[in-house]
């Protein structure tokens, strides 16, 4: 059941975001499409969560010790900074078409899809420290949705903004740090809210695991 719910969750996102978007908007309008998309997303996510909670507990596929937790804790801090940094000045977010920034700064020097990579890293980290079957399916669905969705977003933006998006692609990279490694971007230009907001989100989200899930996560395992 978890697999079916995960396939439905990911599949409906891709169908509504890409092949079905134009015909549905033509029928119900942009606002109607947004409402339908949100309703389907919430319904399929709710189904996935319910199926996950009802799934039988299976053995861990590998041992999880403090060393793995330490790595995951650091990666989740990076993911939190990517997420917060993506909320302001992100050309990929919905909104009026605007020229791409003259040069990549902050989280966009790492990847032009910082929000998507934040979700993907979240999924990979949760698989790493809780490798039971149901969790691998749920978190894996998030990883697929984020990384394949980022690629699909590039294709859509290239079609919708042919004079803007290809230029942004030349200054940035899909893969983290690829533009920095190739000399197309220079790491830096992070804004105070990137760091501060990322740290706050990281601390709050990892702390919340104890009351919500019943076990400590992040630095709270050692505090």
Per-residue confidence in pLDDT tens, the chain, 223 aa: 899 999 999 999 888 887 778 788 888 888 888 888 899 999 999 999 999 999 999 999 999 999 999 999 999 999 999 999 999 989 888 665 666 677 899 999 999 999 999 999 999 999 999 999 999 999 999 999 999 999 999 998 898 888 889 999 999 999 999 999 999 999 999 999 999 999 999 999 999 999 988 889 999 999 8
Spatial contact of 117 and 79, defined as CB atoms under 8 Å apart = yes
- Whether 193 and 141 map to the same domain: the answer is yes
Q: Are residues 72 and 137 in the same domain?
A: yes
Pair 154, 193 in one domain? yes
The answer to whether residues 41 and 87 belong to one domain is no
The reply to whether 44 and 64 lie within a common domain is no
pLDDT on residue 8: 94
Q: Are residues 84 and 38 in the same domain?
A: no
Q: Are residues 168 and 94 in the same domain?
A: yes
What pLDDT is attached to residue 160?
83
pTM confidence score = 0.91
Integer Rg of the chain from CA: 19
- For the chain, the domain total comes to 2
Q: Tell me what pLDDT residue 92 has.
A: 84
What pLDDT is stored for residue 192 in this prediction? 93
Contact at 8 Å (CB) between 130 and 213? Answer: no
- Domain end, chosen from 55, 75, 101, is at 55
Six-digit token string for 216: 């400590």
Residues 43, 104, single domain; the answer is no
Decide: 85 and 191 in contact? Cβ < 8 Å. yes
164 and 197 assigned to the same domain = yes
Backbone angles phi, psi at 57, to 5 degrees: -70, 135
Instruction: Using alpha carbons, select from 194, 34, 21, 163 the residue that is nearest to residue 98.
Output: 163
The last residue of one of the domains, among 55, 71, 88, is 55
Q: Which of 55, 78, 94 is the last residue of a domain?
A: 55
pLDDT recorded at residue 172: 95
Same domain, 46 and 83: no
Quote the Cα angle for 213-216-222, to 5°.
Answer: 180
DSSP state of 29: H
Rounded Cα gap, residues 29 and 40, in angstroms: 16
Residue 185 shares a structural domain with residue 131: yes
Clarify whether residues 25 and 127 are in a common domain: no
Range of the domain at 48: 1-55
């Amino acid at each position: 059941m978890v697999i079916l719910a995960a396939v439905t969750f990911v599949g409906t996102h891709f169908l509504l975001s890409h092949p079905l978007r134009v015909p549905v908007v033509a029928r119900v309008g942009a606002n109607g499409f947004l409402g339908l998309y949100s309703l389907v997303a919430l319904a399929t996510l709710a189904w996935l969560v319910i199926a996950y909670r009802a799934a039988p507990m299976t053995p861990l596929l590998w041992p999880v010790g403090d060393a793995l937790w330490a790595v995951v804790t650091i990666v989740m801090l990076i993911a939190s900074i990517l997420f917060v940094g993506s909320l302001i000045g992100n050309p990929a977010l919905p909104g009026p078409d605007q020229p791409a920034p003259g040069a990549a700064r902050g989280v966009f020097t790492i990847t032009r899809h910082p929000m998507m990579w934040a979700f993907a890293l979240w999924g990979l980290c949760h698989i790493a420290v809780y490798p039971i079957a149901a969790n691998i399916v749920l978190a894996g669905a998030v990883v697929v949705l984020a990384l394949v969705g980022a690629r699909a977003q590039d294709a859509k933006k290239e079609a919708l903004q042919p004079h803007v998006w290809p230029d942004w692609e030349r200054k940035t990279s899909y893969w983290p740090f690829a533009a920095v490694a190739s000399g197309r971007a220079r790491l830096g230009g992070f804004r105070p809210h990137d760091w501060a907001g990322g740290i706050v989100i990281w601390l709050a989200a990892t702390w919340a695991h104890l009351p919500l899930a019943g076990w400590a996560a992040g630095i709270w395992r050692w505090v």
